[in-house]
A and B are shown apart, each in its own frame.
Chain A
């Protein structure tokens, strides 16, 4: 059986609290100190420290040679990242909004993802693409998408989706050390989220799900900020005497199937919550994994909750309808448990 998060970290008191943004910043700073091959490239990553201020201070410590302010050229910087990674560097490419990943598609999907395989294992692309996902910031259709399913679909790519400051730091350090291209998604609405992060060095392995809250009646599998939504839902469900087990997959590629299946077998009911679209999405994949292996243990079909199948609308009156909320998760969980 695979290790769980509780065992990942050294058993130290998690007394220190930092934000998700600080966790990202620390992970990069530590990796850049550890390994001179690691560098950051992206738009306004230098003095500005990105529009979200996530990288503030890095240029002061590492200088403009390792924190490179680029032109607004997403395809270009990703391409340069691939080439640099193939020849001995370890680039961390900053794509400001996940929506702009579409501009990098050839370099990520046709180049980075396939180079190791096409070269018969000779070449490798140890590159991280850091980017964002998530709606409800009133940023409209081209600045709000959650496109992680597109990348989880492609062999050769790894995809990480941290849900807490602790996971963000540990997973990003692992991403930087991984010899494969990793697409690292941060929900921009979580940058100010605070959580315990030890001072000591730690990493979190890919492909190891984390049980964020144990439970017995229903398994709720979630990703990224939807883990926070699921946790809030679990709290409400507890009030109705439904014990929900919340599982954070942490990486969709690789996916820790074992933990999901075990939990579903235990509780007999499962649902999946993700901010991407349901159709052909992460929820579909995870539901099928659970259905395949836990079918005889399930009391009901696996329920999926994703974003509404629409481009993200600007109007607050509409946007809030398009994403999963604790309320929608609670309703679905109650239905699944036969409480409605």
Chain B
């Protein structure tokens, strides 16, 4: 059902003081890389070069980058069907991701997983997941393992607000709190569970859900990467010190459809709402504006960073397009170890 929802950013104090220019520029580069990657996915999909389903992360980049930049390379993440952003932000490379998206043998999962299942152990990515809420147990289990192994690793569970409908999340949070597990539940509230506004599927408040288990819970503007990153630093550090889980709601918006084929969206959200977010709440534009206002860079330098990103993405696509498909003999490999 359609309802008009104005973006209501919760603006805390900008944490600019703690984040140096180098870090901010890196954020910019990473967010732009995700944006360009997803634009390519859109292109590949609409030109029938990419099979399957494509759920674009465009609009939500500040969440993945803000959080993952607060993590160690060996920290864990679990991701969702909308997972390309998390995967890139945790350090995966675009070329092998594209290869996976096209079902090629040099993809991260040898073409067996595809868009909704990319996993990359080397960067701590335990996998995207095509089951909504399906990774709540996995992320919490990885935190249990980190605690048992005394590895001081932290685990981040990314999920959309739709996953609040799944019981597994609540069972997992209960145990995480009981046993003080180093896991951060990052709820990306982009307002819609597929084609339905979250208010029609979600009773009560987000934050109180975690609080019921004694888990500290915050809700922040997910378009403001400085806010996201500062919160992540604090919560990750807390978890690493053995003080237990946290729940972070990042309020955000997906600029495109639920998946690439979701073109007619007028029955569930208005053009006006989309335009407002795109024009006023674009996380990349927001950061760019600040970088320029603070005279850390000029627009020309930003343009160059973007071009750099574009070259990487274009090279990645070219690599994937020309990469070979897996050998038919691979079909029954990896069912068992």
User: CB within 8 Å of B: which residues of A?
Assistant: 43-44, 46-48, 51, 69-73, 75-76, 99-100, 103, 137-143, 308-311, 313-318, 321-322
Q: Does B166 contact A (CB under 8 A)?
A: yes
Q: Are B131 and A48 neighbours in the complex by a CB distance under 8 Å?
A: no
Q: Does B201 contact A (CB under 8 A)?
A: yes
Tally inter-chain residue pairs, CB-CB below 8 A.
132
Q: Given contacts A43-B193, A314-B111, A318-B111, are A140 and B52 in contact (CB under 8 A)?
A: yes
In the complex, what residue of chain B is closest to A143 when comparing beta carbons?
B130
Q: Which of A46, A51, A71, A318 contacts B330 (CB 8 A)?
A: A318
Q: Are A51 and B194 neighbours in the complex by a CB distance under 8 Å?
A: yes
Q: Does B114 contact A (CB under 8 A)?
A: yes
Q: Which of B112, B113, B332 contacts A308 (CB 8 A)?
A: B332
In the complex, what residue of chain A is closest to B1 when comparing beta carbons?
A47
Q: Does B9 contact A (CB under 8 A)?
A: no
CB contacts (< 8 Å) of A141 on chain B: these are: 112-113, 117, 130
Q: Does B316 contact A (CB under 8 A)?
A: no
Q: Does B179 contact A (CB under 8 A)?
A: no
CB contacts (< 8 Å) of B114 on chain A: these are: 138, 140, 314-315
CB contacts (< 8 Å) of A140 on chain B: these are: 52, 112-117, 130
How far, in angstroms, from A75 to B129 measured CA to CA in the complex?
18
The interface bits of chain B over 1-34 (1 if a CB of A lies within 8 angstroms of the residue's CB, else 0) are 1100000000000000000000000000000000
In the complex, what residue of chain A is closest to B335 when comparing beta carbons?
A310
In the complex, what residue of chain A is closest to B259 when comparing beta carbons?
A51
Q: Which of B167, B268, B335 contacts A73 (CB 8 A)?
A: B167
The interface bits of chain B over 302-337 (1 if a CB of A lies within 8 angstroms of the residue's CB, else 0) are 000000000000000000000001101011100100
| 4 tightest Cβ-Cβ pairs between the two chains A and B | A314-B114, A315-B103, A71-B165, A315-B111
Q: Which of A75, A99, A322 contacts B167 (CB 8 A)?
A: A75
Q: Does B195 contact A (CB under 8 A)?
A: yes
Q: How far is the CB of B277 from chain A (nearest CB, A)?
A: 21
14 more CB-based (< 8 A) A-B contacts, given A51-B194, A72-B166: A46-B196, A69-B1, A72-B193, A72-B201, A99-B131, A103-B131, A139-B52, A142-B131, A143-B116, A313-B111, A315-B103, A315-B114, A315-B326, A317-B111
Q: Are B267 and A142 neighbours in the complex by a CB distance under 8 Å?
A: no
Q: Are A71 and B117 neighbours in the complex by a CB distance under 8 Å?
A: no
Q: How far is the CB of A68 from chain B (nearest CB, A)?
A: 10
Interface of chain B: mostly helix, strand, loop or mixed: loop
Q: Are A139 and B53 neighbours in the complex by a CB distance under 8 Å?
A: yes
How far, in angstroms, from A48 to B264 measured CA to CA in the complex?
10
A-B contact pairs, 16 of them (CB 8 A): A43-B196, A69-B1, A71-B164, A71-B193, A71-B202, A99-B130, A103-B131, A142-B116, A310-B332, A311-B335, A315-B326, A317-B103, A317-B326, A318-B111, A318-B325, A318-B328
Q: Are A72 and B200 neighbours in the complex by a CB distance under 8 Å?
A: no
Q: Which of B2, B196, B325, B328 contacts A69 (CB 8 A)?
A: B196
Q: Are A48 and B196 neighbours in the complex by a CB distance under 8 Å?
A: yes
Q: Which of B194, B267, B328 contacts A317 (CB 8 A)?
A: B328
Q: Does B289 contact A (CB under 8 A)?
A: no
Q: Are A43 and B194 neighbours in the complex by a CB distance under 8 Å?
A: yes
Q: How far is the CB of A321 from chain B (nearest CB, A)?
A: 5
Q: How far is the CB of A226 from chain B (nearest CB, A)?
A: 19
Q: Are A142 and B112 neighbours in the complex by a CB distance under 8 Å?
A: no
Q: Are B331 and A100 neighbours in the complex by a CB distance under 8 Å?
A: no
In the complex, what residue of chain B is closest to A141 when comparing beta carbons?
B117
Interface positions, chain B 187-225, Cβ under 8 Å from A, are 193-196, 200-202
How far, in angstroms, from A51 to B200 measured CA to CA in the complex?
18
Identify the interface centre among A73, A76, A143, A317: most chain B CB within 10 Å of its CB. Answer: A317
Q: How far is the CB of A115 from chain B (nearest CB, A)?
A: 21
How far, in angstroms, from A275 to B121 measured CA to CA in the complex?
32
How far, in angstroms, from A138 to B111 measured CA to CA in the complex?
11
How far, in angstroms, from A318 to B332 measured CA to CA in the complex?
9
Q: Are B195 and A44 neighbours in the complex by a CB distance under 8 Å?
A: yes
Q: How far is the CB of B202 from chain A (nearest CB, A)?
A: 7
Q: How far is the CB of A127 from chain B (nearest CB, A)?
A: 20
In the complex, what residue of chain B is closest to A77 when comparing beta carbons?
B165
Q: Are B328 and A313 neighbours in the complex by a CB distance under 8 Å?
A: no
Q: Given contacts A139-B52, A315-B326, are A72 and B133 in contact (CB under 8 A)?
A: yes
In the complex, what residue of chain A is closest to B160 when comparing beta carbons?
A72
How far, in angstroms, from A17 to B46 measured CA to CA in the complex?
31
Q: Given contacts A72-B201, A73-B166, are A100 and B268 in contact (CB under 8 A)?
A: no
Q: How far is the CB of B43 from chain A (nearest CB, A)?
A: 17
CB contacts (< 8 Å) of B73 on chain A: these are: none
